[in-house]
Each structure stands twice: as C-alpha cells, then as structure tokens.
Amino acid sequence: MHKNVGYQSSANLAGPQKEQQMTQEIAFRPFRSIQCRILRQSQVRRTFLFAFQAGSPLVRSLFASLTLLVVATAVPVATAQKIQLSVDVSKPGPKIDRNIFGQFAEHLGHGVYEGIWVGPDSKIPNTRGIRNDVVAALKAIRVPNVRWPGGCFADEYHWRKGIGSPRAVTLNPNWGGVIEPNTFGTNEYMDFLDQIGAEAYLSVNVGSGTPQEASEWLEYLTTAQATTLAKERDANGHLAPYKVAFLGIGNESWDCGGNMTPDYYLSQLKIYSRFVRNFNPAQQDKQQMLKIAVGPGGGEPRWTEWTDAIMKAYQNHTWSWDMNGLSMHSYTVVKWPPSYTSVGFGETEYAQILKSTLEMNDLVEKHSAIMDKYDPQKKVALVVDEWGGWYAPLPGSTPGFLAQQNSLRDAVLAALNLNIFARHADRVRMANIAQMINVLQAMILTDKEKMVLTPTYYVYKMYVPFQDSTFVRATFDAGTFTHDGIMLPRIDAIAAKDKAGKLWLAITNVDPNQSAEIELSLVGINAKSAAGETLSASRVDSVNTFDAPNTVVPKPFSAKAQDGKLTLKLEPKSVTVVAIEQ
C-alpha cells in the first residue's frame, strides 16, 4: 500500500504552493532513484547470503567483497539533471555594448596609489610611474573605459592641484582622512588609459566645484587651439588634445555629492551640460562626448522620484543642454553597514549574497520603465557605473580603505550581473564595477611588488568575446537551487554572436554541490562541438592569494556532439564560456 507522505502533484496547485511543490519534486527525484536501487540490491544480497553460508572460504571472500561494492553504490550522490537550452540565431537582439565591462578607479585606499601608481623611481617595474604588471593584466581583458577620479572623492577633487610641478598635498577626507599627494593627476590618468587602451570617463566636481572649474578642465584636456590652457598642457608633456569619451556630471548628488534635491540637481545639470564642452576636433561629429547625469541609488520611492524628475526634464530639454546617460548605483550588501565577510563563509552566506545580487534585475527594469515613459526611443542609456559586492573590511585593514578578498562567489556574482546587463542591452549600455584594484570587488590585488588576479578578473577575461557582440535570446528552464529556505535559479545563461558571426554561450551553474548537463538546441546552426573555459573551485569561498595565486583559475572546456546533440557538462558553482563550432 502506498503511504502518503505529504507529496502531491504540482498540477493542481497554484502560486507559492506550486513553486514549493516543484522544488519538492526536484528534491525527491534523486532520492527515489536511490530508494529503487536499494530495493534491488537487497534482493541480490539475500541470494549472496545463501551461497555465502554454504560456500568455501574463497567463495565467501568473493561474495563479501561484492556485497560491500553493492552497498557502497547505495550512498546518495549529486547527479546531473539535463537542462534544455535553446538558441535561435535567426532572431538577433541589440548590441551588447563593450562599455558594460567598464572599470572604476577612485582615490580610495590602495586603489590608485600602489595599485596603479608607484612613481617613476620605484623598484617595481613601471612605465612613467604606472605599474607594468597591472597594465598587462588590464590590457588582456580589453578594458573599455575607466571612471575617475570618483566616487565621493570626485566632488572634492580640484584638478589644478594634480597637474604640473610641484603638486599640492591635500587631504582625502572621504576615505580614511589620509594624505592625497596628487601625484596621480590628469596627465597620469590619461597616460594610464593610453597604456591599457581604454577611454576616459571623467567625473567632474559638482559638489564643491564650479562650472568654470569644470569648463577649464575640459579646455585643458581637449582644445587644439593655442589657448593658455592648451599651452599649459603642452608644457606638461602633451601637445595633442586628449579625447574624453564620457563626462559624468556629479556623483551621488543626492548624498555625498551635496545632498541635493532633484530640482536643485537639475538646475546644476543644465548649467554644467551647457558650459562643460569638449573642443577636440575629432569629437565634434561621430565621436561626441557623452554626458551622464546622476541617477538613482536604489528602488525606493526617493529613487524612482529622482529618475522621474530627471527624465521628465530630459523629455522637454532644449538645444542648450542635453544628456546621454543616467547613472545608477547598486551594491550587493544585504544589510548596512556591510557585515558579510569576504573569506571564511559557507553556503548560507553564499546563497544570501547571490539572492541579494539578483535584485539588480528588478532595479534595472523598474528604472528602465520610468525612462521608457519619457524616452521610448531609448536615446538615454542607463549607466550602472557603481556595482559589485561590498563586504566587511578585512581584519587588520584600515576600514576606510574598503579592502576585501575576492572569492569564487564573486565570480558567480559578476557573471549573474553581466548577464542581467546583457539581457537589457537596449537600455543598459555602460557599467563600471567597483573597483578595479585593491578596493571592493577588485580585478587585481597588489602588495608592494606582488600582484594576484582575482576570480572576478577571470570572469571578465572569459567574457571578452561578448564585447560589442549581438545579443541572441537563449531560453531555458533555470531550475531551482534551495538552501536554508533561500531559493535561487540553478542555472543562468546568455548567448551572443561576435562580429565574425561565431556564437558564444556563457552559462553559470549556481548550485554549489550539483553538476548540470546542458543539452543545446541551436536553431540555424549545425553544431559539431563547443570549446572554451570553465571557472570553478573546491569551495564557494575559494580565493587566490599571493602565495597561492592559481586556486581559482579557468581551465579548458570542450564538448563534442553525439547523435546530433551537443551536451555541456558543467561543474557545480561554475562559470563557463564556450564558442560553438560548426
């Protein structure tokens, strides 16, 4: 007789009950399989027992060994469940702008000083004071743009203190109250960009600066005419005008940037947009500088009201001012102040952080909907220029330096967010992870002459083929991973075609314990194989250190089609990127 243990078919349930029951169905499948094996193995063992009692010592020894083998196979193991993933390359979507892979370098902790700048007299190999090892690592991930000098620091930065010689020595009151030597200034920043092949995203001082100061900064940088400021730039070592691709007009003006109301900020935005101009002759037509306004910092009413006010003003803007982007800041924190550790955590913290980071999707959709109301043609980009995991400072570090480690969890977190941006590529056309070196969710960690690349760095390197690729919709059943009552999608994936027409897939297996088999259905492509890289490790909190830099590094991944089907077998807690070969 079948005994009812509280299990029902999910067909007659709805809402939360159905979701819960579907989770139970997934959870029950492997245990039912194990239960059947145990019953079959019990029958075999009864047959063996009769022979064992009547047989010779040799027979008894043989039967005893076989019995141990059968019993061992009854131990539950994590088994892969096939997931169907379909891609129709005949239906391309928007371009995944390479600028969503942007970086952020603020004068904060060891992000600039020691991270980028060591000075020309340093024993650490450098070019004009900029670390060679860091430059080589950043070139490898094709950094599209670097936001500088902040952050909150930007609204207290006065550019003239960072040019020429001698340099003014000031304070950095935002981040630890430390000395700011200003040895890394405008010319050094532009030199750094030139070395790594990135474009400038300059954040001007709206909080404590003036329109005149910002206007003169842009003239110093961009004019080709023989003005006094252009001659000063020449005297400082650069005759030709610089290119400035992006201009950020303020930073978090609703908070550290001046505690402004939306209306007051709008009054400043219009002034700065009008008078802070780019004079570079090469940027007067197709390569015009894009102006990015301060946008929301969350999803609560104060932020939606801010977005509504800025976009409503944009809808009615006149010839004398304009904007091309609206910034948005969102960190994965869970609770404030940041208290989750970046090392030595378990699967519960892993699940909690990833559940929090997935809120980015709702945030993007909420503010995109407001923008659509006033800008249905999507002329204004949503620029997520501060995002990433923000954890408790490392023990022994200066709290204001925001130093933290970077684990496999952060690699998964990065992939999930990049996938969200790619799926909203029609509106999200730029993003900057915080921050590039030694601060928050960094690409690179340094300690004097030593350097180590983080798991997040490797995700960015694996995702290089998605830069300026064409989004292709991928459909799949994400499944469910549940831990301590926290429910997450088990699988996440995106697909895109690069400029050469090659199809790329990025698939993340969120489940830390169970592998996954992805069976591909590719419409319009006769796939013969897949080749790329996968990133995983033994633990969710695995990190790379200066002593063990290769704990979390990509390894080759390949699969061949069999019987006309291409199946990818993914490790638990992994990020995999492959090209489809035809």
Domain edges within the chain: 10-72, 83-92+472-581, 94-464
51 pLDDT above the threshold of 90? no
For residue 135, give the nearest of 192, 91, 175 by alpha carbon: 192
pLDDT of residue 219: 98
| 246 close to 429: Cβ distance less than 8 angstroms | no
Phi-psi region of 258 (alpha: psi -120 to 50; beta: other; left: phi over 0): left
Task: Tell me whether strands 491-497 and 469-476 are parallel, antiparallel or unpaired.
Answer: antiparallel
User: Is 94-464 assigned to CATH 3.20.20.80?
Assistant: yes
Under the banding of pLDDT at 50, 70 and 90, the label for residue 286 is: confident
pLDDT of residue 467: 98
Under the banding of pLDDT at 50, 70 and 90, the label for residue 11 is: very low
| Cα–Cα distance measured from residue 181 to residue 66, given in angstroms and rounded to the nearest whole number | 74
328 pLDDT above the threshold of 70? yes
475 pLDDT above the threshold of 60? yes
HSE-up (13 A, CA, CB side) for residue 371: 25
pLDDT of residue 12: 34
Least confident of 56-70, 150-164, 325-339: 56-70
**Can you tell me the mean pLDDT for 4-18?**
35
| Cα–Cα distance measured from residue 553 to residue 195, given in angstroms and rounded to the nearest whole number | 25
pLDDT tens-place string over residues 133-147: 999 999 999 999 999
- 3-state SS track over 270-336: HHHHHHCCCCCHHHCCCCCCEEEECCCCCCCHHHHHHHHHHHHHHHCCCCCCCCCEEEEEEEECCCC
| Cα–Cα distance measured from residue 293 to residue 269, given in angstroms and rounded to the nearest whole number | 7
| Cα–Cα distance measured from residue 311 to residue 305, given in angstroms and rounded to the nearest whole number | 10
pLDDT of residue 227: 98
Contacts of 161 (CB under 8 A, 6+ apart): 167, 168, 170, 182, 185
pLDDT tens-place string over residues 210-244: 999 999 999 999 999 999 999 999 999 999 999 99
**Can you tell me the mean pLDDT for 421-446?**
98
- In the annotation, is 252 catalytic? yes
| Cα–Cα distance measured from residue 302 to residue 307, given in angstroms and rounded to the nearest whole number | 9
Element (H, E) at 531: strand 529-535
| Cα–Cα distance measured from residue 467 to residue 455, given in angstroms and rounded to the nearest whole number | 19
Q: What are 398's two structure tokens?
A: 């200066």
- In the annotation, is 305 catalytic? no
Under the banding of pLDDT at 50, 70 and 90, the label for residue 582 is: confident
| Cα–Cα distance measured from residue 478 to residue 83, given in angstroms and rounded to the nearest whole number | 8
Average pLDDT over all residues of the chain: 89
| 354 close to 488: Cβ distance less than 8 angstroms | yes
Q: One of 252, 347, 349, 571 is an active-site residue; which one?
A: 252
35 pLDDT above the threshold of 90? no
User: What percent of the chain has pLDDT above 70?
Assistant: 86
| Cα–Cα distance measured from residue 150 to residue 286, given in angstroms and rounded to the nearest whole number | 27
pLDDT tens-place string over residues 146-196: 999 999 999 999 999 999 999 999 999 989 889 999 999 999 999 999 999
In this structure, what are the phi and psi dihedrals at residue 389, rounded to the nearest 5 degrees? Answer: -80, 135
pLDDT tens-place string over residues 532-580: 999 999 999 999 999 999 999 999 999 999 887 899 999 999 999 999 9
For residue 109, give the nearest of 334, 394, 414, 345 by alpha carbon: 394
79 pLDDT above the threshold of 90? no
* Structure-token match 């690069």, residue found: 498
pLDDT of residue 81: 65
pLDDT of residue 563: 82
* Structure-token match 């697909």, residue found: 495
**Can you tell me the mean pLDDT for 470-489?**
96
| Cα–Cα distance measured from residue 495 to residue 422, given in angstroms and rounded to the nearest whole number | 9
Could you check whether the bond before residue 144 is cis, i.e. omega within 30 degrees of 0? no
- Which ranges of 77-159 would DSSP assign to H, the alpha helix? 132-140
| 249 close to 206: Cβ distance less than 8 angstroms | yes
DSSP conformation class of 113? B
SS3 content of the chain, % helix, strand, coil (to 5): 35, 25, 40
pLDDT of residue 80: 53
Q: What are 66's two structure tokens?
A: 């076989």
pLDDT of residue 565: 87
| Cα–Cα distance measured from residue 512 to residue 490, given in angstroms and rounded to the nearest whole number | 9
Contacts of 100 (CB under 8 A, 6+ apart): 384, 418, 421, 422, 425, 428, 429, 430, 431
Q: One of 106, 349, 386, 571 is an active-site residue; which one?
A: 386
Q: Give the right CATH number for 83-92+472-581 from 2.40.50.100, 1.10.150.120, 3.40.640.10, 2.60.40.1180.
A: 2.60.40.1180
pLDDT tens-place string over residues 353-365: 999 999 999 999 9
pLDDT tens-place string over residues 482-523: 999 999 999 999 999 999 999 999 999 999 999 999 999 998
